[in-house]
Amino acid sequence: MDIDVKMTVNGKAVSGKVEARTLLVQFIREHLRLTGTHVGCDTTQCGCCVVHVDGVAMKSCTMLAVQAEGKAITTIEGLASADGTLHPMQQAFRDHHGLQCGFCTPGMVMMGVDIANRLPGADEKTVRHQLEGNICRCTGYQGIVEAIMDASAVMNAARS
Amino acid sequence: MGEFGIGQPVRRKEDVRLLTGGGQFTDDIDLEAQVYAAFVRSPHANAKILAIDTLAARSMEGVIAVYTGQDLVDAGMGVMVNEANYVNRSGKPMNKPSRRIMPVEQTRFVGECLAMVVADTPEQARDAAEAVEIDYDVLPAIASTARGLDKDAPHVWPEFGENLVVHWEYGDKDDVEAKLAACHTRVKVDLVNNRLIVSPMEPRCAAAEYDTASGALTVYTPSQGGRRLQMMLARGLLKMAPEKVRVISRDTGGGFGIRSKMYPETVMVAFAARTLARPVKWRGDRSETFVSDYHGRDQINVAEMGLDAHGRASVLKVETLLNVGAYLSENGVRLPMEGGGRIIPCMYDIPDFYFSVKPMFTNTICTDTYRGAGRPEANYIMERLMDAGAQALGLSREEIRRRNFITEAQMPYKTHLGFVLDSGDFDGTMQMALDAADWTGFETRRAESATRGNLRGIGLATFIEGAGSRPIEGMRMRFEANGEVTLFAGTYSHGQGHDTVYAQLVNEFLGVDFDKVTLIDGDTATSPETSNGTFGSRSSMVGGIGVKRAAEAIVAKGRKIAAHLLQTDAERVVFEGGVFRAQSSSITLAEVAAASHDAKKMPEGMALGLDESVVYENDVENFPNGAHICELEIDPETGILEILNYVAVDDCGVVLNPFIVHGQVYGGVMQGVGQALTENVVYDADGQLLSASYMDYGMPRAAHMPMIEALFNVVPAKTNELGVKGAGEAGACGAPPAILSAVGDALSRLGVSHIDMPLTPEKVWRAIQEARVVTAA
């Protein structure tokens, strides 16, 4: 039995018919064809699927599409400005070599934005701890941690 | 040349696409009217297959086809290849079982594919896979490396009468043992090199489509370069003409060695697409990749070294057990010999050497190449021995290494197994690391930790690598009419940043703008005929020099065109900085490129365009090396260990892009930290994989890692014209022994003499408690 869902994704109203068991990540990838959000595991451990739901980082493999009814979703495709200017977090990942193969990257960037929003000025230890739910196999996390700390400072300055 | 040339920390071309969701991983590719595959996997480690009943599955909604191993036999499909051909000293050849794509009579590891369902939706395929009924006669299984060669161990292949694949030997055992007995001091280590889950972040995936009219098959899959997969699929498995099989990898989410291999699921997806004449797609769950991706390492090494009173080692005996799994994977069985064997005894000049390798079959998924592929194991053996030697003789760890290093004066230095080390400043590299880590100031820091009740240790590991394996690779460079350059490569970037580095090289050699260079890789339709792909830290040499040679070919042709346009002789034309000059006249390469597309401007009889293909070939590999120092602290009450400082000094020859090479070092170190501290594959006695998810397997997280200080001691390779040495695998070689050395340093005062990886808090805590009991007694 299909269920109607409506939500806002990257600022646009979207709707669709989904099975009750359809995960938010499936809705994003398969219905909306926004394939920047990745699936890297089946146990909610890897963080490749992190998106923002009403501004908060969420593993989209761990939420049903119907649970996102009426909510505002931001995916990696919605982070940069319309003119293509990268979000400070994306720019910082580039500047600090925070990505190699790029598969964990969208989840890492979305998680990084969330960390910077929640914990402005977080120190290295805090950032590392906050990344418990995101696995990277390429970078040794070094560039990722540096990028999040750097972008966090940029975002903080922009807010004040 | 300026800010984009060799040696510059150029930011990556790849990043904006990957940072904005524009990556195209295999699961991101949907084929028109595709259907979906799911696999039925063996729940048993060893069982006769009595019957496979697919009737119920076939009748389910949406199900298009169900295939078993017998269907593949009936269809005339080939078997999985293994080219290893070792011989026992008795002359008996190695035991070499044939591996079917899916077995018919017996399954030999948990997770083995036994049937495939194709259905309209992924959910229907999964549901139907669960409805496939298989009758098994479950047999005793063996998974343990330590017990795999026991007399009472069940035989994975009863027809061989043993689990031993081959007993491979180098050197004279009796002679080496006699020499060991005569040494002033002997040290022995008994090591477990723990089995690892490789786990690129992109789960394995395959999609295929078949065009009935042309008979052409296209396979999309993550890979480390498609040409070898194409040849295996076409020639051995599907029995098609290679030109009718195209393998495409757009983006691949990490490789680390195991993604260069052919897997049964890939073959099956291709087979189903051809048979059904419909596009078929499969994306593995992470739990499927845990049980069916090849694993890494899994050796037990007993090694003994004999030294004189001055700490000079002269004799070495290494006996290795290797768990290859249930079958022979493409390269697994080769790793101690052709992986680690090419360098062992690593950085040290040890004249007498006996080396025994006993690979064995067990009821587990195969092991195969994983970052370092035999070299981390070899370096681990030697570094543990050197630390043991230092302790036995009361020498410092740096001094015993210094006394045994192969020196630059000894190079070119031929290793026991016939490889030739061309360059390396082992002592200088080690000294850089000692200085950067403030090695001599350590005792103050140890004392400070002690005031907090913590045990602080510092560890040193030096290591050597062998990189650039199978050094032959093609490269094509084409100038477009607008002056932009397109490179067509068979190497394949799956995180290493080739788009960036190759563009730097084009900029360096031809003066073409960095932004005007595009790399096309990951497609057998466009990659050079001669290609092996990207593995074994080979692309800097075989790909980098391919770019250089192609640039030279472009200049050679461009010079003739320039001479024609400047109305002079080609010999008088000089190329520099993107400009051809002859006396006072000149013409840019971009102008020559534009002219090359205009027949009226070209010398008579010359083919239009600047489009040159080359094949780079070398006789030898290169030998990156380094020294890593790890400083850590252990809380004796909990066994929790924290890395406080990590210095990595690497000699990877000429560094093409330090920004990218640092990234390779950090990533390699992390995978070594994982092996040393958190990762361990556990099978139970029945061959069930217990560490089968990220919940059960200790994949290193950000909090396990320190900030690494990465430095270079640049000693250009003498055996290739760029002077490069591979950089990808060094970290995984250096980190495990550096960490073990540091833990040994922290715990040896308590009397802890031996501890195996991974150093989980529990294991460290138990070692401390046991030592305390012994001390108290």
pLDDT in tens, B209-220: 999 999 999 999
End-to-end Cα distance, chain A? 49
Whether the CB of A2 is below 8 Å from some CB of chain B: the reply is no
Cβ atoms within 10 A of the Cβ of B157, count? Answer: 17
Beta-carbon contacts below 8 Å between A and B: 184
Please tell me which residue of chain B has the smallest CA distance to A133: B701
Burial of A12 (0-12, 13-18, 19+ CB in 10 A): exposed
Distances (CA, A) of B652 to B337, B404, B625, B712: 23, 21, 7, 7
- Contact between residue B623 and residue B725 where contact means Cβ atoms under 8 Å apart: yes
Q: Tell me which chain A residues have a C-beta less than 8 angstroms from the C-beta of B660.
A: 97
User: What is the per-residue pLDDT for B777?
Assistant: 62
A73 and A127 in a common domain: no
Residue A83 lies in a domain: no
Whether the CB of A127 is below 8 Å from some CB of chain B: the reply is yes
Which residues touch B409 (CB under 8 Å, ≥6 apart)?
none
Q: Tell me which chain B residues have a C-beta less than 8 angstroms from the C-beta of A144.
A: 702
**Which DSSP string corresponds to B605-659?**
TPPSSEEEEEEEE-S--B--EEEEEEEEEE-TTT--EEEEEEEEEEE-BS-S-HH
Q: What's the mean pLDDT when you consider all of chain B?
A: 97
Least Cα separation, residue B315 to chain A (angstroms): 37
User: What is the per-residue pLDDT for A159?
Assistant: 86
The residue written with tokens 């498609």 in the block is B226
A136 and A100 in a common domain: yes
Distance from C-alpha of B41 to C-alpha of B692, rounded to nearest angstrom: 14
Distance from C-alpha of A113 to C-alpha of B312, rounded to nearest angstrom: 55
User: What is the per-residue pLDDT for A1?
Assistant: 72
> Would you tell me which residues 46-75 of chain A have a C-beta closer than 8 angstroms to some C-beta of chain B?
46, 48, 75
Q: Tell me which chain B residues have a C-beta less than 8 angstroms from the C-beta of A132.
A: 701-703
DSSP strand pairing (B313-325 vs B352-361) = parallel
The residue written with tokens 């990942």 in the block is A93
For residue B294 the two structure tokens come to 């090849």
Q: What is the CATH number of the domain that holds A15?
A: 3.10.20.30
Distance from C-alpha of B774 to C-alpha of B777, rounded to nearest angstrom: 5
Residue B774, pLDDT above cutoff 90: no
pLDDT digits (tens, 9 = 90+) for A110-158: 999 999 999 999 999 999 999 999 999 999 999 999 999 999 999 999 9
A112 and A58 in a common domain: no
Q: Tell me which chain B residues have a C-beta less than 8 angstroms from the C-beta of A95.
A: 11
Distances (CA, A) of B648 to A17, B538, B699: 53, 21, 22
* CA angle at B561 for the pair B555 and B566, rounded to the nearest 5°: 115
For residue B6 the two structure tokens come to 């060799």
Q: B544 in helix, strand or coil? A: helix
Residue B472, pLDDT above cutoff 90: yes
User: Of B362, B300, B299, whose CA–CA distance to B110 is shortest?
Assistant: B362
Phi, psi values for residue B142, rounded to 5°: -130, 130
- Would the CB atoms of A48 and B708 count as touching at under 8 Å? no
- Contact between residue B33 and residue B280 where contact means Cβ atoms under 8 Å apart: no
R_g (Cα) of chain A, nearest Å = 15
- Contact between residue B205 and residue B221 where contact means Cβ atoms under 8 Å apart: yes
- Would the CB atoms of A145 and B702 count as touching at under 8 Å? yes
Residue B1, pLDDT above cutoff 60: no
Cβ atoms within 10 A of the Cβ of B362, count? Answer: 30
Distance from C-alpha of B204 to C-alpha of B284, rounded to nearest angstrom: 5
Positive or negative: CA dihedral B368, B371, B374, B380: negative
Residue B688, pLDDT above cutoff 60: yes
Positive or negative: CA dihedral A47, A50, A53, A56: positive
For residue B110 the two structure tokens come to 């948990």
- Would the CB atoms of B202 and A134 count as touching at under 8 Å? no
Q: Tell me which chain B residues have a C-beta less than 8 angstroms from the C-beta of A127.
A: 702
User: Of B278, B279, B281, B220, whose CA–CA distance to B245 is shortest?
Assistant: B220
User: Is this prediction's pTM over 0.95?
Assistant: yes
Percent of chain B with pLDDT over 90: 97
DSSP strand pairing (B205-211 vs B168-170) = unpaired
A130 and A99 in a common domain: yes
A55 and A10 in a common domain: yes
Distance from C-alpha of A41 to C-alpha of A46, rounded to nearest angstrom: 6
- Would the CB atoms of B12 and A79 count as touching at under 8 Å? no
The residue written with tokens 């739990």 in the block is B287
Whether the CB of A93 is below 8 Å from some CB of chain B: the reply is yes
Which of A26, A37, A52, A101 best tests the B interface by mutation, with the highest count of B CBs <10 A? Answer: A101
- Would the CB atoms of A99 and B666 count as touching at under 8 Å? no
Give me the sheet containing B472-479, strands edge to edge. Answer: B517-520, B485-489, B472-479, B610-617
Residue A7 lies in a domain: yes
H/E/C letters for each residue in B113-163?
A: EEEEEEECCHHHHHHHHHHCEEEEEECCCCCCCCCCCCCCCCCCCHHHCCC
| b/e sequence B575-611, b meaning 16+ C-beta within 10 Å | beebbbbbeeeebbbbbbbbbbeeeeebeeeeeeebb
Whether the CB of A148 is below 8 Å from some CB of chain B: the reply is no
Residue B116, pLDDT above cutoff 80: yes
User: What is the per-residue pLDDT for A72?
Assistant: 98
Give kind and range of the element (H or E) at residue B541: helix B539-566
Phi, psi values for residue B49, rounded to 5°: -95, 110
- B313-318 average pLDDT score: 98
Range of the domain at A108: 88-159
- Would the CB atoms of B12 and A97 count as touching at under 8 Å? yes
User: What is the per-residue pLDDT for B81?
Assistant: 83
Least Cα separation, residue B220 to chain A (angstroms): 16
User: Of A107, A12, A18, A30, whose CA–CA distance to A65 is shortest?
Assistant: A18
Q: What is the CATH number of the domain that holds A97?
A: 1.10.150.120
pLDDT digits (tens, 9 = 90+) for B555-581: 999 999 999 999 999 999 999 999 999
User: Of B114, B118, B7, B138, whose CA–CA distance to B52 is shortest?
Assistant: B114
Distance from C-alpha of B229 to C-alpha of B234, rounded to nearest angstrom: 8
The residue written with tokens 């009472």 in the block is B152
A99 and A128 in a common domain: yes
User: Of B219, B261, B217, whose CA–CA distance to B241 is shortest?
Assistant: B217
Whether the CB of A149 is below 8 Å from some CB of chain B: the reply is no
Q: A64 in helix, strand or coil? A: strand
A96 and A64 in a common domain: no
**Identity of the amino acid at A58:** M
Which of B8, B17, B19 best tests the A interface by mutation, with the highest count of A CBs <10 A? Answer: B19
Distance from C-alpha of A46 to C-alpha of A40, rounded to nearest angstrom: 6
For residue B712 the two structure tokens come to 């270079």
Least Cα separation, residue A70 to chain B (angstroms): 24
- Would the CB atoms of A132 and B663 count as touching at under 8 Å? no
Q: B241 in helix, strand or coil? A: coil
Q: Tell me which chain A residues have a C-beta less than 8 angstroms from the C-beta of B657.
A: none
Kindly indicate whether the ipTM for this predicted assembly is greater than 0.95, answering yes or no. Answer: yes
- B342-358 average pLDDT score: 97
CA B682 from centre of chain: 22
- Would the CB atoms of A137 and B199 count as touching at under 8 Å? yes
User: What is the per-residue pLDDT for B2?
Assistant: 78
Burial of B765 (0-12, 13-18, 19+ CB in 10 A): middle
- B372-390 average pLDDT score: 98
Residue A25 lies in a domain: yes
Least Cα separation, residue A106 to chain B (angstroms): 6
> Would you tell me which residues 6-25 of chain A have a C-beta closer than 8 angstroms to some C-beta of chain B?
none
Structural domains in chain B? 2-21+470-617 (3.30.365.10), 31-139+199-292 (3.90.1170.50), 372-467+621-776 (3.30.365.10)
Q: How much of chain A is in helix, strand and coil states, percent to nearest 5?
A: 40, 20, 40
Residue A104 lies in a domain: yes
Of B200, B496, B703, the CB nearest to A132: B703
Counting the structural domains of chain A, the total is 2
Which domain-ending residue is among A78, A102, A132? A78
- Would the CB atoms of B286 and A79 count as touching at under 8 Å? no
- Would the CB atoms of B669 and A140 count as touching at under 8 Å? yes
Which domain-ending residue is among A78, A107, A132? A78
Please tell me which residue of chain A has the smallest CA distance to B493: A101
Least Cα separation, residue A160 to chain B (angstroms): 26
- Would the CB atoms of B253 and A101 count as touching at under 8 Å? yes
- Helical residues (DSSP H) of A19-141, grouped into ranges: 24-26, 88-95, 105-118, 124-130
- Would the CB atoms of A100 and B663 count as touching at under 8 Å? yes
Whether the CB of A97 is below 8 Å from some CB of chain B: the reply is yes
Residue B253, pLDDT above cutoff 60: yes
Cis bond upstream, residue B345 (ω within 30): yes
Whether the CB of A80 is below 8 Å from some CB of chain B: the reply is yes
- Would the CB atoms of B666 and A140 count as touching at under 8 Å? yes
A114 and A74 in a common domain: no
A111 and A72 in a common domain: no
Of A34, A38, A128, the CB nearest to B702: A128
A115 and A73 in a common domain: no
Residue A69 lies in a domain: yes
DSSP one-letter code for B80: B
Helix and strand tally (H, E) in chain A?
A: 5, 5
Distance from C-alpha of B191 to C-alpha of B188, rounded to nearest angstrom: 10
Residue B776, pLDDT above cutoff 80: no
Distance from C-alpha of B712 to C-alpha of B723, rounded to nearest angstrom: 14
Whether the CB of A137 is below 8 Å from some CB of chain B: the reply is yes
User: What is the per-residue pLDDT for B749?
Assistant: 86
A26 and A6 in a common domain: yes
Which domain-ending residue is among A11, A43, A78? A78
Q: How confident is the model at residue B83 (pLDDT cuts 50, 70, 90)?
A: confident
H/E/C letters for each residue in B278-336?
A: CCEEEECCHHHHHHHCCEECCEEEEEEEEECCCCCEEEEEEEEEEEEECCCCCCHHHHH
A122 and A99 in a common domain: yes
Distance from C-alpha of B249 to C-alpha of B256, rounded to nearest angstrom: 15
- Would the CB atoms of B201 and A141 count as touching at under 8 Å? no
- Contact between residue A116 and residue A85 where contact means Cβ atoms under 8 Å apart: no
